[in-house]
Amino acid sequence: MAETLTITALGHGGDGVAETADGRVFVPYALPGETIEVERAGKPPRIVGISQASPDRVEPLCRHFGACGGCGLQHMERGAYLAWKRQVVIDAFALRGIGADVEPIVPIAEGTRRRAVLSAATTPQGFVLGFNRRGTNDIVPIAECPVLVPAIAGRLDTLTRLSKILCDRRRPLRLTIVAADNGLDIAVQGARRVGRPELEALGAMAADPSLARLTVDNNRIFLNRQPEIRSGDTLLLPEPGGFLQAALPAEEAMAAVVLDHVGKATPVLDLFAGAGTFALRLARNAPVTAVEGDVALILAITTAANRTKHLKPVTTRKRDLFRNPMAPIELNPFGALVFDPPAGGAKAQVDQIAASKVAKVVAVSCNPATLARDARVLIDGGYRLVRVAPVDQFLFSAEIECVATFER
């Protein structure tokens, strides 16, 4: 049975918020100011009619929007969408008692996402390759994706053929695809047992010039060439299925803030260094120590640094900074420090930074809530918040990337 709701706000997850006698109701794909009819028999509530639409409602770009769980906000006018994202950051800092002067969010264009995680499975309706439906394990087959770079979106047929060779009927397949500068880097997890017929079929696919590397369940199947990703004037060497900034324009915007704040400070410490996105750029001007818990990423940084001319010394250290954060006595020799932890933040490490004497600190985060929490610790430890620069790295989603800079 449908009921009428009035949407009063947009929640931090991107859903419309309605106040009811039962409490708040969060409605996907609803916008503030709208009067809608919803069915609440299942979760989440489902819009069955819109009697008064928001002036910010626009036609989605993709035919799969609303079914595919990859995007949540294609239906919102871009200016209103960006303003809402900036406000999410402002609210996160305000919740921690920080009146941050948040800069306008850096917009990102369609067709720039260079890393995708797709699922594939054999279902009673046939073979499917796509993204999961929101809140479920169901796979929505996709024929297009306006967010992805053409190098990925234009090769869905190739990815489907590959998945059919490897898919086990008992479980879904997971594909992580990175559009490197010299071809697609594909890492597959959950494949069927690979025998001679499968290897022969995969070997034939290796003749495709658009494919750089294929790894299946951590086993290299073929390597046409080492995937390379230009990062500033250096080359990153990504690990199969490894992390990298999802969109190059977003990476460049964040790196510009990092480099501007670090300035001529020396030496520089890069914590949670990943594949060296910031470390290698920073090494143009100062010696850098890059600390990361993944040995494969440490090797990637070292290899990239050795292949790049005119860098200052790049030292790498393998260390689990969650269990064993660097202490103030280790941090104090550095003139500047950058940290880019996972979404959960780096509370243990930030406690140590707050007690250190490092003059300049840069925090990079994909979670405004944990960034604001960490900022509160730094401010209470004697740091001054200089700037907060949000970047719309994850287009049409509720996720927001931010760079926050601090000075002693």
Q: Which residues contact 329 (CB under 8 A, 6 or more apart)?
A: none
What one-character-per-residue DSSP string does 156-189 give? HHHHHHHHHHHB-TTS-EEEEEEEETTEEEEEEE
* Contact in structure between 27 and 5 (CB atoms under 8 Å): yes
* Contact in structure between 401 and 394 (CB atoms under 8 Å): yes
Residue 207's Cβ-side half-sphere holds a number of Cα atoms within 13 Å equal to: 4
* Contact in structure between 206 and 162 (CB atoms under 8 Å): no
Minimal CA–CA distance to 33: which of 89, 88, 85, 84? Answer: 84
> What residue has token string 């397949």?
173
Taking CA atoms, 256 is separated from 90, 106, 297, 362, in Å, by 21, 12, 23, 12
Residue 336's Cβ-side half-sphere holds a number of Cα atoms within 13 Å equal to: 26
Q: Which helix (H) or strand (E) holds 17?
A: strand 16-20
For residues 219 and 91, what is the distance between their CA atoms, to the nearest angstrom?
A: 45
Counting every residue written for the chain, the total comes to 408
Active-site amino acid positions: 366
Strand order in the sheet with 268-271: 314-318, 288-292, 268-271, 336-339, 360-365, 401-407, 384-391
